[in-house]
């Protein structure tokens, strides 16, 4: 794929881009780069290595610790020299080990003659910017290799067909009956055990971006709280959280039974917006409560509450989440830090049954569409991954003559 | 003036639906290539979100509690001015940095330099508080309780063998991942006896696979959440447009074409 280099920072961008993906500079007059297939794997091309020897992976600067040679023990054992650690692993290692950054020689050294500032060409400035924007080179990390062509348009196109075709053609559901997860029933019991007028802290951690799934799973829990005559104090860490909450709550609880008397008189239910993210959560630990209900699209919001609030006020916590957040929150349910976990369509279905209010017939087609799209989308991606691996395996096989 | 009175009933909802639909298509069209309309839609989205955040922050926090309290009783307690001063310094220092980054050449001045250094103090305070909260929170809310739970239930004699085996494997893989993270074979293993090298290399190999698997699971989670967002978006637009007159005509045409 042809790319165009940013004149400001040197980042390669797709051909036809108007702006740089890294720095946003205009690309209209930028020079075109050679396709990645024609570029050598090493970043230190001959001319580049001559002018900038520190870009060569073999270069050792004054402060650098040289790599140890292969020991005699290894040679005797017939072991190969250790392969460079994968990118992820080496990056994580960099956090724990002192990073051996490839050093840049002092000005006036023999390898790179010093230049007055005025002699720096635009090309050199661009390279310096590019170097400053990159992560430091870790000595044990592999050489930066040009990213393989992923045919992203094809991947997105196939995924779009994989989701749209079952929706338009009415393909059947992969599974008939929703799964019954542990955690829903204890969650239901924790609300059922609340006395009338019990104080409940409500964390509203989703907004319009995740409203499709979260409204589905939050609605039965909020209806249950209203039926138990709970008194709710709601907060949100998202700017659009209060508006999303007010829209759903005015539909579920039009009589405002969930709110304490001053709030009940107001036109809209009051949901506080707390800017500052998880850093402000400890303030909520001072509020008295009998139960905390977390409506969170991401597992991290529940984790933050369990780390910042729950150890301080020791109030039982019920998490109501999207299906994607279920897996990382299971250990908290098993350790007893969560009294209940209601997640995704399955959780909503089971909670509605426990509440004695199964889904309305009008809701079923909408739900069905979402589950069909999600399931066939995941299947399509799995097929793409398998095909991609198969193609890579075929491409990597030595050709027989 | 009430804006709703100037417009026919339901006009705003209908316009919002179609404007939102067009903007959604424009943002999706970025998949086909970078172009001005896709950029415009992204800028409008980000700008509207930031503007909304500023308004909500002002209304729900600054104006209603902080500014009102300072207005009524400016000097009790006096420490209320400390966050105001820190925020003002941070804002001015940040503005200076933005101006410099945008290419504006400010005259060299000791005052500006001092302001820049002063602005680092509240920023440092914010970063330090966030780091301290994250560290203490992860210990008291995740590591401690999870370790205690595992120690009490999973690794004791008399526990069911399946649970015992599962927890031992978890312990082995966790330790392998940690060893893979902190050990550089080229640096740490060469001076060790051969059998230690072999053992640790095997353990590191296992730890690296565990890390790859964890990275794959993270990607799968990310993909699942984005897919559900995408499907919810498609479903919403299908339902919203289906209820309009144009949508019903399109549906009739589709059914006719499909023979249903």
What is the reported pTM? 0.65
The verdict on B98 and B183 lying in the same domain is: no
**What gap in Å lies between CA B27 and CA B229, rounded to an integer?**
14
Phi–psi pair at A245, nearest 5 degrees: -65, -45
CA B102 to chain centre: 26
Candidate from B130, B138, B231 with C-beta closest to A374 = B231
**Cβ contact, residue pair A374, B212, below 8 Å:** no
DSSP bridge partners of A232: A200, A259
**Cβ contact, residue pair A239, B53, below 8 Å:** yes
Q: Assign A129 a pLDDT band (cuts: 50, 70, 90).
A: low
Residue at B255 is within a domain? no
User: Which helix (DSSP H) or strand (DSSP E) does residue A45 occupy?
Assistant: none
More confident residue, A330 or A398: A330
Average model confidence (pLDDT) across chain A? 72
Residue at B19 is within a domain? yes
Residue at B3 is within a domain? no
| A269: DSSP letter | -
Distances (CA, A) of A95 to A89, A100, A135: 10, 11, 12
Quick: pLDDT tens for B179-220: 898 888 888 888 888 888 888 899 999 999 999 988 888 788
**What gap in Å lies between CA A314 and CA A307, rounded to an integer?**
11
B143 at A interface, C-beta within 8 A: no
Contacts of B257 in chain A (CB under 8 A): none
Residue at B4 is within a domain? no
**Cβ contact, residue pair B208, A86, below 8 Å:** yes
Q: Could you give the maximum distance between any two Cα atoms of chain B, in Å?
A: 85
Distance from CA of A394 to the nearest CA of B (A): 22
**Cβ contact, residue pair B138, A307, below 8 Å:** yes
Average model confidence (pLDDT) across chain B? 82
Distances (CA, A) of A89 to A85, A136, A385, B187, B205: 6, 15, 22, 15, 11
CB pairs under 8 A between A and B: 172
Domain map (residue ranges) of chain A: 152-175+365-396, 184-255+286-359
**How many Cβ atoms from other residues are within 10 Å of residue A162's Cβ?**
20
Candidate from A68, A77, A163 with C-beta closest to B187 = A68
Q: Assign A183 a pLDDT band (cuts: 50, 70, 90).
A: very high
Residue A399 confidence (pLDDT): 56
The verdict on B228 and B160 lying in the same domain is: yes
Indicate which of A8, A14, A65, A82 best probes the interface with B, i.e. most B CBs within 10 Å of its own CB: A82
Residue A144 confidence (pLDDT): 53
Structure tokens at A365: 């087609």
Domain that holds residue B209: 153-247
Distances (CA, A) of B244 to A202, B7, B247, B250, B252: 36, 19, 5, 10, 12
The verdict on B65 and B90 lying in the same domain is: no
A302 closest CA partner among B231, B170, B127, B137: B137
**Cβ contact, residue pair A156, B31, below 8 Å:** yes
Contacts of A212 in chain B (CB under 8 A): 228-229, 231-233, 235-236
- Is residue A269 within 8 Å of A249, Cβ to Cβ? yes
Structure tokens at A264: 């009940």
The verdict on B162 and B105 lying in the same domain is: no
A200 closest CA partner among A181, A187, A214: A187
Q: Which of B72, B93, B112 is the last residue of a domain?
A: B72
Contacts of B48 in chain A (CB under 8 A): none
The verdict on B197 and B218 lying in the same domain is: yes
Candidate from B60, B197, B254 with C-beta closest to A272 = B60
Residue of B nearest to A275 (CA): B57
Q: Residues 64-93, chain A: which have Cβ within 8 Å of B? A: 67-68, 70-71, 73-74, 76-77, 79, 81-82, 85-86, 88-89, 92-93
- Is residue B87 within 8 Å of B118, Cβ to Cβ? no
CATH of domain A184-255+286-359: 3.40.50
Number of domains within chain B: 3
Distance from CA of B48 to the nearest CA of A (A): 11
**What gap in Å lies between CA B64 and CA B73, rounded to an integer?**
14
Tokens 């239930």, located at residue: B153
Average pLDDT over residues A59-78: 45
Distance from CA of B77 to the nearest CA of A (A): 19
Contacts of B58 in chain A (CB under 8 A): none
**Cβ contact, residue pair B211, A89, below 8 Å:** yes
**What gap in Å lies between CA A73 and CA A313, rounded to an integer?**
57
Residue at B147 is within a domain? no
**What gap in Å lies between CA B199 and CA A151, rounded to an integer?**
41
CA A273 to chain centre: 23
More confident residue, B25 or A99: B25
| A132: DSSP letter | H
Share of chain B above pLDDT 70, in %: 93
Quick: pLDDT tens for B39-97: 999 999 899 989 988 888 888 777 877 777 777 777 777 777 888 888 888 888 888 77
Residue at B140 is within a domain? no
Helical segments of B58-109, H only? 68-72, 81-101
Residue at B143 is within a domain? no
**Cβ contact, residue pair A337, B34, below 8 Å:** no
Q: Is the pLDDT of residue A360 over 70?
A: no
Quick: pLDDT tens for A143-163: 555 555 667 778 888 888 888
């Amino acid at each position: 794929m042809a790319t165009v280099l940013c004149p400001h920072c040197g980042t390669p961008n797709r051909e036809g881009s108007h702006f740089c993906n890294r720095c946003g500079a205009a690309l209209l007059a930028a020079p075109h780069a050679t396709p990645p297939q024609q570029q050598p794997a090493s970043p230190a091309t001959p001319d580049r290595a001559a002018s900038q020897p520190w870009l060569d992976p073999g270069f050792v600067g004054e402060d650098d610790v040289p790599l140890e040679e292969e020991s005699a023990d290894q040679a005797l054992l017939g072991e190969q020299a250790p392969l460079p650690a994968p990118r992820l692993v080496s990056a994580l290692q960099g956090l724990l080990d002192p990073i051996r950054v490839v050093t840049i020689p002092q000005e006036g050294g023999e390898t790179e003659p010093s230049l007055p500032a005025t002699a720096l060409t635009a090309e050199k400035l661009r390279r310096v910017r590019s170097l400053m924007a990159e992560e430091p080179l870790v000595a044990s990390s592999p050489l930066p290799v040009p990213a393989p062509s992923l045919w992203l348009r094809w991947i997105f196109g196939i995924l779009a067909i994989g989701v749209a075709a079952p929706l338009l053609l009415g393909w059947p559901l992969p599974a008939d009956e929703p799964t019954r997860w542990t955690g829903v029933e204890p969650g239901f019991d924790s609300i059922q055990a609340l006395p009338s007028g019990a104080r409940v802290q409500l964390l509203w951690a989703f907004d319009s971006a995740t409203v499709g799934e979260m409204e589905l799973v939050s609605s039965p829990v909020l209806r249950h709280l209203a039926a138990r005559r709970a008194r709710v104090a709601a907060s949100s860490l998202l700017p659009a959280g209060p508006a999303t909450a007010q829209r759903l709550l005015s539909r579920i609880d039009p009589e405002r039974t969930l709110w304490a008397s001053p709030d009940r008189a107001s036109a809209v239910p009051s949901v506080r917006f707390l800017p500052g993210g998880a850093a402000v959560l400890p303030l909520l630990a001072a509020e008295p409560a009998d139960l905390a209900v977390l409506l969170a699209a991401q597992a991290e919001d529940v984790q933050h509450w369990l780390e910042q609030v729950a150890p301080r006020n020791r109030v039982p916590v019920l998490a109501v989440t999207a299906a994607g957040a279920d897996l990382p929150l299971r250990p908290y349910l098993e350790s007893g830090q969560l009294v209940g976990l209601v997640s995704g369509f399955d959780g909503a279905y089971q909670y509605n049954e426990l509440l004695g209010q199964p889904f309305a017939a009008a809701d079923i087609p909408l739900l069905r569409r979402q589950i069909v799209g999600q399931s066939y989308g995941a299947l399509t991606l799995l097929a793409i991954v398998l095909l991609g691996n198969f193609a890579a395996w075929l491409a990597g096989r030595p050709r027989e003559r | 003036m009430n804006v709703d009175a100037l417009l026919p009933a339901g006009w705003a909802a209908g316009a919002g639906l179609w404007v939102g639909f067009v903007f959604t298509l424009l943002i999706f069209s970025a998949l086909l290539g970078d172009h001005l309309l896709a950029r415009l839609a992204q800028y409008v989205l980000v700008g509207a979100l930031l503007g909304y955040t500023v308004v909500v922050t002002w209304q729900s926090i600054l104006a209603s509690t902080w500014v009102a309290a300072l207005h009524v009783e400016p000097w009790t307690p006096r420490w209320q001015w400390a966050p105001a001063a820190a925020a003002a310094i941070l804002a001015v220092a940040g503005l200076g940095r933005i101006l410099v980054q945008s290419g504006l050449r400010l005259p060299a001045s000791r005052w500006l330099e001092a302001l820049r250094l002063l602005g680092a103090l509240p920023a440092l305070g914010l970063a330090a508080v966030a780091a301290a909260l994250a560290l203490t929170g992860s210990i008291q809310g995740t590591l401690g309780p999870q370790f205690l739970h595992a120690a009490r239930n999973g690794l004791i004699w008399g526990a069911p063998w399946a649970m015992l085996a599962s927890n031992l494997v978890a312990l082995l893989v966790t330790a392998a991942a940690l060893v893979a993270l902190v050990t550089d074979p080229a640096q740490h293993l060469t001076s060790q006896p051969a059998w230690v090298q072999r053992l640790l290399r095997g353990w590191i190999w296992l730890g690296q696979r565990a890390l790859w698997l964890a990275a794959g699971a993270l990607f799968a989670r990310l993909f699942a959440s984005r897919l559900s967002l995408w499907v919810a978006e498609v479903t919403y637009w299908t339902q919203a447009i289906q209820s309009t007159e144009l949508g019903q005509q399109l549906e009739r045409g589709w059914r006719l074409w499909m023979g249903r």
